[in-house]
Structure formats: C-alpha cells, structure tokens
Structure 1
Amino acid sequence: MQVELSAGTVEYTDTGGPGPVVVFVHGLLMDGTLWDGPVTGLPEHRCVVPTLPLGAHRHPMHPDADLSLPGIAALLAELLERLDLRDVTLVGVDTGGALVQLLMVAGESRVSRVVLASCDAFDNFPPGLTGKTLFLAGKLSPGLFGVFMQQMRLRAVRRLPIAFGWLTKRGDAVSAGWIRPLLSQASVRRDTVRVLRAAAETPDILVEAAERLPSFDRPALVVWAHEDRVMPPEHGARLVALLPKGKLVEVDDSYTLIPLDQPAEFARLVREFTAG
C-alpha cells in the first residue's frame, strides 16, 4: 500500500486485524521487512508497518522535504492522522526508537502506549560503530556515498561491526535486501545523505528529548537485548527510570534488532503489553 504525505510517497503494510492497532517503526537503512516476524506472530492485532525515508525506501522524497529526525517524526505523525489510526501502540527499535521518543515528548494524542526496543537514546547518537561510520559516510557526495555502500553487497562486509554485524545475529538475509534501493536509485542515495547530514547537525537531540520523557504518562514497555553491543544495556534501565509507567524486559540471545533475532518472543511481549 502507499499513502501520499507532504514529504512524498510512503509505502506501508496493514494487516487489518480486528485487535489493537500497533504501528512498527524501523531504524536507519532498514525497511518494514524488519517486522515481518513479529507481525506474523500477532494475527489478532492490526499491524501497520510503514517504510520511512531512512535509506531503504523505494520512493524518493520531495526535494524540499524535511528529512531531519524531527521532520521524519512529524511525517510518522502525519501518517497516523491520514490513516486515522487511534489508540495506537507505537513500537520502535534502533533509530525507530528515537523517532518514537520524539513523538512521546511531542504529546502525540493518537499514541496510547509505546514500546522502545534497544534504541538510540541519551548521548548514544550516532550509536555504536555502525552509526558513527554512517554519519562519516554521509559527509560524502551522494555519488561517492553510493560507491562506498557498494561493498555492502558482500555478506562478509555486512557482518562487520561497522555494518550490521553487531545489530543482528540471524538477520543477514533480510538486511541484504535493505540496501538494494540505495544501490540502485540515485534519488534514494540523495535522500539518505540528507538524512545523515541533518542528523549529524543535532547530536544532542535525544539528550534533550530525555529531559522531557517524564511528561509521558502513558504505559511504556522498554525491551532491551541483553547482549546488545550497540545500544548500552544500562540505557534501558535509565529510560524506565524516566517514564512514570515504564517497565523493563531484557531479551536473551539477541543483538539490537530483536525483531530479527527473537521475533516470536518480541511478538509475545507486544501481545501481553497491549492486552494489559
């Protein structure tokens, strides 16, 4: 499915299930396929999964689109409005969790509860070797950025700590698909460089957001990978301490991208959280 938003065309999937509405938000250089496993495990829910302009999207954004993190968070809020989604459980991992935090502190009224899963937070922005490498690569021209990213065709490179190696234990087949639009479309490369440069200009954005998280008085589940090498495990506890209705759950045998490494467990946690 597609929806025309102010920034451009955004693709999304919608299972149309009868139960609670859950909107899943992916991270940088990822698309909605990140959530295929958990969505399969939630047949009773209405699962809406957009592919946002974070580098793995297939439709270029308008030249004047705001591709900063606040701009993309606003685009996500616009999608909730256009699809008339209410009483939403908003779920984010990696950079998707950063976008969820921005909507939390903005007081987005359509969001009734959130799940923050191993995500950028506080001063961990850009996160880990992967984030720092991408932000440095974003200084290149779109053309040179594309040349740099060509090496991601190789599994051996994708499994390096500077790529997806410390983000997922088992998800290489999925992550291999995420880079295809960027490698094949100059317009997507331009969008991605714009995203990276805009993010690099606001290194304290999540520190500032954290100061306002105590104002979020709705239920919040923080799910952190026990073996995370990119998102510090102590950040999960720090987030819960700021959230009046926060709860922390740690997941074993997973890196940052829990939806890829432990999809059934992630679906179970979301199911129990929405039921509560």
Structure 2
Amino acid sequence: MPQIDLSLGTVSYEDTGSGPAVVLLHGLVQNATVWRDVAADLAADHRVIVPTLPYGSHAIPLRPDVDLTPRTTARLIGEFADALGLPDDTVFVENDAGRLQQLAAERPERVGRMVIAGCEAFDNYPPKAGGTMMAAAAKIPGGIRFLALALTPRPLRRIPGTGFAVMTAKGVPHDLTDGWLRPLRTDSAVRADLVRYLRATDRGEMLEAAEGLAGFPNPVLVVWGRQDRMMPLEHGRRLAELLGAELVELDDCGTLIPVDQPRALAEAVRKFAAA
C-alpha cells in the first residue's frame, strides 16, 4: 500500500481504479479492508481512495508527541485529500465514525460532496454499545489491550449485543476482524494512539458539528441501515432533513453498511456521484 507523511504521522492508503474520485472512510478498530467489496465495485468506473486512519487498526503508529483527538483526525482527512491533490468535487463517504461531518463543518470547501452512511451524530457520541465500552476501557490502564485480547477467540466476536456483533445484521467475516484486532494485540504504540483518541473525545463535539453543518452548501447523501443498533435511524432522518439531503434506508443492514449491504451502498454512491 502507498503511504503519505502528514502532520500527525504516516497514513497508508489504497488507490485503485480511474475516473471521478471517491474517498472511503472507516470507523474505529477497523481499517481499509472494511470497504473491500464496495471499493472493488466502485473501482470499475471511479478512482477509489481508502486510507487506513489511526483508529487502532493502523499498522504504522503516529508520532507520540502530536495532538491526537477526533477533531485533529477530522483535519487529517482534509490534509490527506490536499496532499493527494484531490479535486473539489471529490465524493467523501464515511461509515461509523463522524469525522467527515466535523471536517465539512470546519472546511466545507474541502468536502465537495458527502455521503454519511450510518455514522456518529448529534448526542450519540460515543455511540452506545461498542463505543461507550471502548471509551470506558480507555480510562483504565491496560483496558484497551484487555478488550483486544478478550476478542481474540473468534466465537466471542459473535456474542449478540456485544463487540462487532452489534454492528452488523449479517456478521463481520473473521478474516476482517482478525486483521483489525492484530495491531491492538501486538503493538503498544498503536494502542496508545487509540487511547489518546478516545480520552480526547468530547461528548458535545458532534452536536457542535451538526450546528456547523446547517449551512453546508454542497450535495449530501445519507444512507442508513434500518436494523442499526448503534446509530439510531432517526439520526439519519434528522441529518437528511438538516442538510436537505436524499435519504436511502437499507433493510437487513446494521452500522457496518459496507459489510451488510456493499452492493446497495456502492450503487447509491455511484448514482450520487453521477448526479
């Protein structure tokens, strides 16, 4: 994978296909592989760029002296797009996390077009279930390592209502979660990055982002899973109303839309990009 040096550290990314640019952004304790099916679909007629962000499943730790927070990570996404020279009409798609909303509120000119697909929003931050559990673990010395080790046995990742199981309607393939958990189990610097990020979380910052988005001037698409147990469907509807955006609701779909409904999400993004 190519790499690029940015203000917080080195970011790896995938860059496939050709045509109009689409940037796909993942959530915590995931990496670019969560988008593999969507990226393969869109690469038929788009340039698809998928960075692995410093959310605990990154292979290259950030510099330990940098200010790592959700807000600086949002800015990092903009810096990443600037460094690659991506055009103003690039389509940014985010799932699970909410940093794209923060970037769009702060730098609307950088986010040409935006797809919010089952994300943190409003007062659901950190999101219930897995998000609040990780936030609590980050406050305890060794807590994040304990969680990563506890999820090492594959059957434990499928316990209903916990961990990755709460994020999907169909279940996350084990080869994906194996890769997502490996850096947290084996690299103390990666764990330190995630702890810094989680400890810097401010419960009010997504409400602040929503206020900033009220005047967002560019096209937006909102996609949500009807069976989402982490990100309330009502928040998708509120975002669509706030932004004057089209709303696509998908059945048999939880938070991880790229896992549950990759083809439907790719088609929604393709239609939005073409429009």
Give per-residue Cα distances to partners, 1:61-84, cap 9 Å, x unaligned.
Answer: 011222211110111111111111
Aligned partner of 1:191 among 193, 197, 200: 193
Counterpart of 2:209, as a letter, is: A
SS at match of 1:166: helix
Cα deviation for residue 145 of structure 1 reads: 2.7
Cα deviation for residue 180 of structure 1 reads: 0.5
Q: Which runs of 4+ in 1 moved over 6 A?
A: none
Cα deviation for residue 149 of structure 1 reads: 2.0
Q: Distance in 2 between matches of 1:83 and 1:153?
A: 36
Cα deviation for residue 163 of structure 1 reads: 0.6
Q: Distance in 2 between matches of 1:145 and 1:175?
A: 16
Confirm whether residue 110 of structure 1 aligns to residue 115 of structure 2.
Answer: no
Cα deviation for residue 267 of structure 1 reads: 0.7
For structure 2, list consecutive stretches of 5 or more residues without a partner in the other structure: none
Q: Which residue is equivalent to 1:91? A: 93
Counterparts in 2 of 1:136-155, with a 5 A limit?
Answer: 136-141=136-141, 143-155=142-154
Cα deviation for residue 219 of structure 1 reads: 0.8
Counterparts in 2 of 1:163-242, with a 5 A limit?
Answer: 163-168=163-168, 169-173=170-174, 174-199=176-201, 202-242=202-242
Q: Which residue is equivalent to 1:8? A: 9
Confirm whether residue 270 of structure 1 aligns to residue 269 of structure 2.
Answer: yes
Give per-residue Cα distances to partners, 1:134-165, cap 9 Å, x unaligned.
Answer: 00000122x44313320111222212323111
Q: Distance in 1 between matches of 2:123 and 2:261?
A: 27
Counterpart of 2:92, as a letter, is: L
Q: Which residue is equivalent to 2:78? A: 77
Counterparts in 2 of 1:55-74, with a 5 A limit?
Answer: 55-74=56-75
SS at match of 1:111: coil
Q: Which residue is equivalent to 1:36? A: 36
Give per-residue Cα distances to partners, 1:178-224, cap 9 Å, x unaligned.
Answer: 0111111111011111111111xx11101111112121111100000
Task: Tell me if structure 2 keeps the 8 A contact 1:155–1:172.
Answer: no
Task: Tell me if structure 2 keeps the 8 A contact 1:12–1:51.
Answer: yes
SS at match of 1:115: strand
Q: Distance in 1 between matches of 2:199 and 2:234?
A: 28
Counterpart of 1:65, as a letter, is: V
Q: Distance in 2 between matches of 1:271 and 1:101?
A: 20
Task: Tell me if structure 1 keeps the 8 A contact 2:167–2:254.
Answer: yes
Q: Distance in 2 between matches of 1:158 and 1:170?
A: 9
Task: Tell me if structure 1 keeps the 8 A contact 2:121–2:235.
Answer: yes
Task: Tell me if structure 2 keeps the 8 A contact 1:159–1:172.
Answer: no
For structure 1, list consecutive stretches of 5 or more residues without a partner in the other structure: none
Q: Which residue is equivalent to 2:51? A: 50
Task: Tell me if structure 1 keeps the 8 A contact 2:113–2:219.
Answer: yes
Q: Distance in 2 between matches of 1:54 and 1:66?
A: 14
Counterparts in 2 of 1:15-26, with a 5 A limit?
Answer: 15=16, 17-26=17-26
SS at match of 1:228: coil
Q: Distance in 1 between matches of 2:144 and 2:120?
A: 23
Task: Tell me if structure 2 keeps the 8 A contact 1:158–1:172.
Answer: no
Cα deviation for residue 170 of structure 1 reads: 3.0
Structure 1 residues 256 and 82: CA distance shift in structure 2, 3 A: same
Task: Tell me if structure 1 keeps the 8 A contact 2:134–2:144.
Answer: no
Q: Distance in 1 between matches of 2:18 and 2:194?
A: 36
SS at match of 1:207: helix
Please give the TM-score of this superposition, normalised by the length of structure 2.
Answer: 0.95
Q: Distance in 2 between matches of 1:131 and 1:248?
A: 24
Q: Distance in 2 between matches of 1:179 and 1:194?
A: 17
Task: Tell me if structure 2 keeps the 8 A contact 1:30–1:55.
Answer: yes
Measured on the aligned residues, the alpha-carbon RMSD in Å equals 1.2
